[in-house]
Structure 1
Amino acid sequence: MNPFLAEFIGTSILLLFGCGVVANVILNKTKGNNSGWIVITWGWGMGVFIAVYTMGQFSGAHINPAVTIGLATAGLFEWGMVVPYILAQIAGGFFGAFLTWLAYKDHFEATEDGTTKLAVFSTIPEIRNYSSNFITETIGTFILIFGVLYLSNPGFIDVDGQFLSTITISGEEIGFGLGSLAALPVALLVFGIGLAIGGPTGYAINPARDLGPRIAHALLPFSNKGSSDWAYSWVPIVAPSVGAVLAALAFRIL
Structure 2
Amino acid sequence: MFDNADTHSLTYFTAKLNVPLHPLWGSQYHRPSVPLEADMVLGGDMAERFANRGLLGELAAEFAGTLILILFGTGVVAQVVGGGIGDHDSIAWAWGLAVVLGVYTASRVSGAHLNPAVTVALAVFKGFSWRKVLPYALAQTLGAFLAALIVRWNYSEVLAKVDPGHTVKTQGVFSTLPGNGTLPVHMWGGFRDQIIGTAILLFLILAVTDVRNSAPLANLAPFIVGLIVVAIGMAWGTNAGYAINPARDFGPRLASFLTGYGTAWRDQYGDLYFWVPIVAPLIGGVIGAGLYQLLVDRFLPREGAPEPGRTPPPADYEAATAAR
TM-score normalised according to structure 2 size: 0.68
Aligned partner of 1:94 among 121, 139, 145 = 145
Higher relative contact order (CA 8 A, sep 6+): 1
1:147-189 per-position Cα deviation (integer Å, ceiling 9, x unaligned): 1111111225xxxxxxxx8xxxxxxxxxx64333210000000
| Comparing 71-80 and 36-45, the one that deviates more | 71-80
Matched, 1:188 2:227: yes
Q: 1:85 & 1:226 partners in 2: Cα distance? A: 28
| Partner residue, 1:229 | 265
Q: 2:229 & 2:162 partners in 1: Cα distance? A: 29
Q: State whether residues 243 and 277 of structure 2, in contact with CA within 8 Å, keep that contact through their aligned partners in structure 1.
A: yes
Higher strand share: 1
Letter in 1 for 2:133: V
Matched, 1:147 2:195: no
Following TM superposition, by how much is the alpha carbon of 1:226 offset from its aligned partner in structure 2, in angstroms?
4.4
Q: 1:50 & 1:80 partners in 2: Cα distance? A: 27
**1:158-197 alignment runs, 5 A limit:** 177-197=216-236
| Partner residue, 1:67 | 118
Q: 1:181 & 1:249 partners in 2: Cα distance? A: 24
**1:40-51 alignment runs, 5 A limit:** 40-51=91-102
1:109-167 per-position Cα deviation (integer Å, ceiling 9, x unaligned): 222262232111100112342222111110000000001111111225xxxxxxxx8xx
1:188-238 per-position Cα deviation (integer Å, ceiling 9, x unaligned): 000000000111110010000100000001112x5xx34113411111011
Matched, 1:84 2:84: no
Q: 2:135 & 2:229 partners in 1: Cα distance? A: 24
Aligned length: 229
1:17-39 per-position Cα deviation (integer Å, ceiling 9, x unaligned): 11100000001xx2xx1521100
Letter in 1 for 2:249: D
**Structure 1 gap segments, 5+ residues each:** 157-164, 166-175
Q: 1:199 & 1:103 partners in 2: Cα distance? A: 27
Matched, 1:211 2:250: yes
Letter in 2 for 1:36: D
Matched, 1:25 2:80: yes
